[in-house]
């Protein structure tokens, strides 16, 4: 029947029965040492003194032997194969033990008083009763002991040629029969207890094995996740270097005289580069979440300017597909990190536009109690209930088995979920396949008196001229150095390049740089942070510096963020680089150094 465990193997049960019975043997030694001499003292007389003395010596020696033998067996491992032979040996020993106790009747009865005879019978009855409890784990052992003792006692009583004694002989046999019946019940109870104990041991062992398997699976999953992160970081770094240089070269090329056809080709090249950069930025956002460097800065901010900005950015994508993009007006002021909230909404809206071919996308805010529910509705393909959890996994996409790069990497929803959790919220989904989806997350309403986030300017601030400014670039990639040098010179800078801090110290630049742009991961074990520290010791501690990195490994991100030097991530948009340089030279901290995920700026 289902749910019932199969019976335990008989040999295994016998092993446990033997160990339980052997553990009871020692408890009968002291009573024997006390009772046997006492009986000799009370019953002995000139006619039976020798017989009682011999009996006393025999029973004590044999009981000590039984105790020694039991301890010896308990100290060894009784295998299921050997259990049967041990049982046979124990049955012989208990047969002898019973006969020795019964021999007391032959040594004392008929040669002592009536009171002494009563004492002998009572003693043997008590020995039989106590033996029942100690031998009960193995029913056959008590049977041979009880029958052996009863046979010795009853045979002596029967030979005493007195009807009363013969009646007592029959009574002894009936008493032993009753004890055997009780012993059978005791043996069954002992077997059930042993079986339960063995089943519990089995359950504990299975639990231990399953726990070990679960721990091993967890370790394997963690190792796989670390291997995945290392692979992504290595692949991302190696891809970022040439794409970073490509973007810089394209910017330099855009500043040269070009024909109409060349401008069209350049626009296509820049669009392709932009798509590659955006995918790498998505990987960077995911790596930042894994590294734990995303630290929300909670402040009060109005939702409507943020919704307007996202609509201005993404509505053209909806228009290009012939679908409607709408966002409802709201006056809500919420508590959160505006940069993270913007990135969550941008991912959700981009995802909605990507998977909607008819109808449209709606961004709405609903005030409920002390919070606001931000919702992104679409009339797209919808998501089946079975996939409502899996779509939040990284690199998981529905309906993109061909891995169309235009549909992204499958990280948008994973990033949005991670950012929502960083804000202490949960991203929720309601969807019907074929009818559309709605993603929503909540933000608390701002309390009166909370500091407000600065308003986002509609147009980027004017950027300063770099004419005549001296810039030092340290990067171990020759292509990147060349691209940076050409771009900075196109901006009017005087640019010196080096592949290491050692090259700068050996050959020198001849002048103190106005700004240093240093790659974070240099040759050997040197880092950009080390190089910046050396430059500031050489040229002054107030020298402005920027770190640039293509490394997205979580531990590298944490190290770089801990330096306090502004950090840009390859591929760096020329406009982003220009703005960061302008901010540094004006004494401001560039936006790119903030701990939140920054929003990419348009190219200059």
Kindly state whether residue 243 falls inside one of the protein's structural domains: no
pLDDT top residue among 58 and 398: 58
Shortest CA distance to 351 belongs to which of 329, 376, 328, 373?
Answer: 376
Say yes or no to pLDDT of 593 above 60: no
Model confidence band, residue 592 (pLDDT cutoffs 50, 70, 90): very low
Do 334 and 266 share a structural domain? no
Q: Beta strand pairing status for 428-432 and 436-444?
A: antiparallel
- Give me the chain's average pLDDT, please: 78
Distance CA 286, CA 309 (A): 23
User: What pLDDT score does 557 carry?
Assistant: 66
pLDDT tens track for 84-101: 888 888 889 989 988 999
Say yes or no to pLDDT of 604 above 90: no
Kindly state whether residue 236 falls inside one of the protein's structural domains: no
Say yes or no to pLDDT of 123 above 70: yes
Distance CA 164, CA 4 (A): 55
Say yes or no to pLDDT of 446 above 80: yes
Kindly state whether residue 133 falls inside one of the protein's structural domains: yes
Do 483 and 373 share a structural domain? no
Do 76 and 19 share a structural domain? yes
User: What pLDDT score does 238 carry?
Assistant: 63
Domain boundary among 397, 414, 444: 444
pLDDT tens track for 177-206: 888 888 888 778 777 877 777 677 777 878
Do 497 and 360 share a structural domain? no
pLDDT top residue among 70 and 232: 70
Do 506 and 439 share a structural domain? no
Kindly state whether residue 541 falls inside one of the protein's structural domains: yes
Neighbours of 365 (CB within 10 A): 19
Say yes or no to pLDDT of 57 above 90: yes
Structural tokens at position 314? 């993404």
pTM exceeds 0.85 for this model: no
Distance CA 569, CA 571 (A): 6
Q: What is the CATH number of the domain that holds 414?
A: 3.30.565.10
pLDDT tens track for 522-561: 877 788 888 888 888 888 878 888 988 877 666 666 777 7
Q: What is the CATH number of the domain that holds 490?
A: 3.40.50.2300
Question: Residue 302 — φ and ψ, nearest 5°?
Answer: -80, 135
pLDDT tens track for 101-115: 989 889 888 888 888
Domain count, the chain: 3
Domain boundary among 209, 241, 263: 209
Secondary structure element (H or E) that encloses residue 161, with its range = none
DSSP calls for 317-372 = HHHHHT-EEEE-----EEEE-HHHHHHHHHHHHHHHHHT-SSSEEEEEEEEETTEE
Do 302 and 285 share a structural domain? no
User: What pLDDT score does 288 carry?
Assistant: 58
Do 191 and 261 share a structural domain? no
pLDDT tens track for 143-177: 888 899 889 988 888 888 888 888 888 888 898 88
pLDDT tens track for 303-332: 889 898 888 888 888 888 889 998 888 888
Sheet with 360-368: list strands edge to edge.
324-327, 360-368, 371-378, 436-444, 428-432
Do 400 and 289 share a structural domain? no
Say yes or no to pLDDT of 448 above 70: no
Do 481 and 352 share a structural domain? no
Q: Stretch 44-56: mean pLDDT, rounded?
A: 89
Kindly state whether residue 91 falls inside one of the protein's structural domains: yes
Domain boundary among 444, 474, 495: 444
Kindly state whether residue 234 falls inside one of the protein's structural domains: no
Q: Stretch 416-444: mean pLDDT, rounded?
A: 83
pLDDT top residue among 69 and 295: 69
Kindly state whether residue 536 falls inside one of the protein's structural domains: yes
Kindly state whether residue 106 falls inside one of the protein's structural domains: yes
User: What pLDDT score does 552 carry?
Assistant: 64
Distance CA 222, CA 220 (A): 5
Distance CA 99, CA 96 (A): 5
pLDDT top residue among 131 and 296: 131
Do 186 and 42 share a structural domain? yes
User: What pLDDT score does 61 carry?
Assistant: 93
User: What pLDDT score does 56 carry?
Assistant: 92
Least confident of 97-111, 406-420, 588-602: 588-602
Q: Stretch 468-483: mean pLDDT, rounded?
A: 88
Residue with token string 């670039």: 473
Do 468 and 440 share a structural domain? no
Say yes or no to pLDDT of 603 above 50: no
Give the domain extent around 585: 255-293+463-604
Q: Are 478 and 245 in contact (CB under 8 A)?
A: no
User: What pLDDT score does 60 carry?
Assistant: 92
Do 91 and 203 share a structural domain? yes
Say yes or no to pLDDT of 408 above 50: no
User: What pLDDT score does 86 carry?
Assistant: 85
């Amino acid at each position: 029947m289902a749910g019932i465990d199969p019976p335990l193997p008989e040999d295994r049960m016998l092993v446990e029965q033997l160990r339980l019975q052997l553990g009871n043997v020692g408890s009968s030694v002291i009573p024997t040492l006390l009772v046997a001499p006492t009986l000799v003292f009370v019953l002995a007389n000139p006619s039976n003194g020798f017989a009682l003395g011999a009996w006393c010596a025999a029973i004590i020696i044999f009981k000590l032997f039984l105790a020694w033998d039991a301890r010896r067996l308990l100290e060894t491992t009784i295998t299921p194969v050997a259990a049967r032979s041990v049982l046979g040996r124990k049955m012989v020993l208990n047969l002898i033990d019973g006969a020795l106790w019964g021999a007391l009747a032959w040594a004392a009865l008929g040669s002592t008083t009536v009171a002494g005879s009563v004492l002998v019978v009572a003693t043997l009855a008590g020995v039989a009763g106590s033996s029942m409890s100690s031998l009960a784990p193995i029913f056959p052992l008590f049977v041979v002991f009880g029958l052996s003792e009863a046979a010795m006692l009853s045979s002596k009583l029967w030979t005493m040629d007195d009807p009363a004694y013969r009646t007592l002989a029959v009574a002894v046999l009936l008493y032993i029969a009753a004890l055997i019946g009780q012993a059978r019940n005791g043996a069954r109870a002992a077997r059930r207890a042993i079986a339960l104990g063995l089943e519990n041991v089995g359950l504990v062992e299975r639990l231990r094995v399953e726990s070990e398997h679960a721990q091993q699976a967890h370790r394997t999953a963690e190792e796989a996740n670390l291997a995945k992160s290392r692979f992504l970081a290595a692949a991302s770094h190696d891809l970022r270097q040439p794409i970073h240089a490509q973007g810089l070269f394209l910017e330099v090329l855009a500043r040269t005289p070009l024909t109409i056809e060349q401008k069209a080709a350049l626009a296509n090249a820049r669009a392709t580069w932009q798509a590659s950069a955006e995918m790498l930025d998505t990987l960077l956002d995911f790596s930042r979440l894994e590294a734990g460097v995303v630290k929300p800065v909670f402040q009060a901010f109005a939702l409507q300017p943020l919704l307007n900005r996202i609509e201005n950015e993404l509505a053209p994508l909806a228009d290009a597909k012939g679908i409607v993009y709408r966002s409802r007006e709201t006056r809500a002021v919420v508590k959160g990190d505006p940069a993270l909230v913007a990135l969550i909404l941008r991912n959700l809206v981009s995802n909605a536009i990507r998977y909607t071919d008819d109808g449209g996308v709606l961004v709405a805010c609903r005030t409920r109690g002390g919070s606001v529910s931000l919702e992104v509705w679409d009339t797209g393909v919808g998501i089946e209930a079975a996939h409502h959890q899996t779509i939040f996994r990284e690199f998981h996409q529905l309906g993109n088995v061909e891995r169309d790069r235009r549909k992204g990497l499958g990280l948008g929803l994973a990033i949005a979920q991670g950012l929502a959790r960083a804000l202490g919220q949960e991203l929720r989904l309601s969807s019907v396949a074929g009818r559309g989806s709605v993603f929503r997350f909540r933000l608390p309403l701002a309390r009166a008196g909370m500091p407000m986030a600065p308003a986002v300017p509609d147009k980027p601030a004017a950027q300063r001229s770099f004419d005549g400014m001296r810039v030092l670039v340290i990067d171990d990639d020759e292509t990147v150095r060349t691209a940076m040098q050409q771009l900075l010179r196109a901006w009017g800078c005087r640019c010196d390049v080096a592949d290491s801090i050692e090259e700068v110290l050996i050959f020198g630049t001849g002048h103190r740089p106005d700004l240093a742009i240093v790659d974070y991961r240099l040759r050997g074990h040197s880092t950009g942070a080390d190089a910046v520290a050396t430059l500031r010791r050489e040229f002054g501690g107030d020298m402005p510096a920027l770190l640039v990195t293509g490394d997205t490994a979580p531990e590298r991100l944490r190290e770089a963020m801990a330096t306090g030097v502004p950090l840009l991530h390859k591929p760096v948009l020329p406009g982003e680089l220009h703005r960061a340089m302008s901010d540094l030279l004006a004494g401001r901290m560039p936006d790119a150094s903030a701990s939140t995920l920054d929003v990419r700026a348009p190219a200059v």
